[in-house]
Amino acid sequence: MSDQLTDKFGRDITYLRLSVTDRCDLRCTYCMAENMTFLPRKDLLSFEELDFLCDAFIARGVRKIRLTGGEPLVRKGLLPFIEKLSRHLKTDRLDEITLTTNATQLAKFADELVHTGVERINISLDSLDREVFARLSRRDALGQVLSGIEAGLKAGLKIKINTVALKNGNAKDIPDIMRWAHSLSMDMTLIEVMPMGEIAQDRFDQYIPLSEVRENLDDQFTLVDTPYRTGGPARYVQVNETGGRLGFITPLTNNFCAGCNRVRVTCTGQIYMCLGQDDRVDLRAAIRSKTPQEALYAALNKAMISKPEAHDFKIRKPGDAPAVARHMSVTGG
């Protein structure tokens, strides 16, 4: 039997998104409630356990690991963990270690990240207007984020900007963010807001289909479809006026599950096979059992069976309940 992790629809799992913390220094309105109860530290996997877990995934065919959260850079000790994990890059067992971050702490860590072998990162940024940023993230941190991005670029990191499109939040700001990102040679990707977790606002008031955003952009720019792919769900266009690339991730309007190659593991070691599904398998129990190797192997096999063919996110009318109860910050975006 091949050790490659493959689900029942024949999709090979080669990409692990690993959440290292559920904590964050921002409170983006589409992601979290203002008053979140974070997990007790003892529930989190230790760095030794995370390393053990990564090793097991790599042995079973994972080639790319993305660290996420919550905000990964707020977890103390993350850089030494990445440094250790990077042994797999040197031995060619892994193609890439990367990160999704809000960049608030990046000025502190950019050089060290590059030193550990991280080459590309995704940074989430929803507005370049200080007030809009503060309203959307509930923190006045735009200056800190922009310093982080500057430091990242200076350190030589390749940066992609991710922006969640929000109808009453930042839809108007998108052309400005794109011009700015492209002027600094950063790609940008737009994301449709997904109905995950109870938040203070109605998702219906946040949701704007990216088809609508694209129509607005088409009025101002020449967007040319390209076959460019990064192995993820984004579909890209080239923007003639800026010379940059713009991606669209459309979980609601254009389901992309057929080519899914990823799984997500939370900071407590729960593996979710799909963002839009509540089924999970407890890898922490396996790791903390008497026979961790064998138990983890079996737990991963069990997880493969439960991966659904597709998710079914919908935001149809005001007051619709979330598709899944957990917040994005729990699963790791």
Interface with ligand SAM, residue 269, by CB under 6 A: no
Residue 27 partner contact from ligand SF4, ligand SAM, none using kind-dependent CB cut-offs of 5 to 8 Å: ligand SF4
The pair of structure tokens assigned to 318 is 């005001």
Residue 121 partner contact from ligand SAM, ligand SF4, none using kind-dependent CB cut-offs of 5 to 8 Å: none
Using CB under 6 A as the binding rule, the residues of this chain from 170 to 229 that contact ligand SAM are 191, 193-194, 196
User: What DSSP letter does each residue of 128-161 carry, written as one string?
Assistant: SSHHHHHHHHSS--HHHHHHHHHHHHHHT-EEEE
First to last CA, the chain: 32
Please state the closest distance from residue 333 (CB atom) to ligand SAM, in A: 2
Please select the residue that binds ligand SAM; options are 21, 29, 68, 116, rule is CB under 6 A. Answer: 68
Of 227, 190, 183, 232, nearest in space to 207 by CA? 190
Interface with ligand SAM, residue 106, by CB under 6 A: no
75 by Cβ neighbours in 10 Å (0-12 / 13-18 / 19+) ranks as: buried
Stretch that binds ligand SAM, among 64-72, 75-83, 88-96, 173-181 (CB under 6 A): 64-72
For ligand SF4, which is the closer residue by CB, 74 or 234?
Answer: 74
Please select the residue that binds ligand SAM; options are 116, 162, 170, 242, rule is CB under 6 A. Answer: 162
For ligand SF4, which is the closer residue by CB, 38 or 52?
Answer: 38
The total number of residues shown for the chain amounts to 333
Residues 6+ apart with CB under 8 A from 224: 237, 238, 239, 240
Q: How many CB atoms lie within 10 A of CB 77?
A: 10
Please state the closest distance from residue 138 (CB atom) to ligand SF4, in A: 8
Residue 68 partner contact from ligand SAM, ligand SF4, none using kind-dependent CB cut-offs of 5 to 8 Å: ligand SAM
Please state the closest distance from residue 27 (CB atom) to ligand SF4, in A: 5
Q: Which residues are paired to 187 by β-bridges?
A: 160
SS3 breakdown of the chain: % helix, strand, coil, rounded to 5? 35, 20, 45
Interface with ligand SAM, residue 161, by CB under 6 A: no
Residue 193 partner contact from ligand SAM, ligand SF4, none using kind-dependent CB cut-offs of 5 to 8 Å: ligand SAM
Burial state string for 249-282 with b = 16 or more CB within 10 A and e = fewer than 16: bbbbeeeebeebbbbbbbbbbbbbbbbbbeebbe
Interface with ligand SAM, residue 101, by CB under 6 A: yes
55 by Cβ neighbours in 10 Å (0-12 / 13-18 / 19+) ranks as: middle
Contact call for residues 136 and 29 (beta carbons, < 8 A): yes
Residue 196 partner contact from ligand SF4, ligand SAM, none using kind-dependent CB cut-offs of 5 to 8 Å: ligand SAM
Binding site for ligand SF4 (CB under 6 A): 24, 26-28, 31-32, 69-71, 102, 124, 329
Q: Which residues contact ligand SAM (rule: CB under 6 A)?
A: 24, 30-31, 68-69, 71, 100-102, 124, 162, 164, 191, 193-194, 196, 328-329, 333
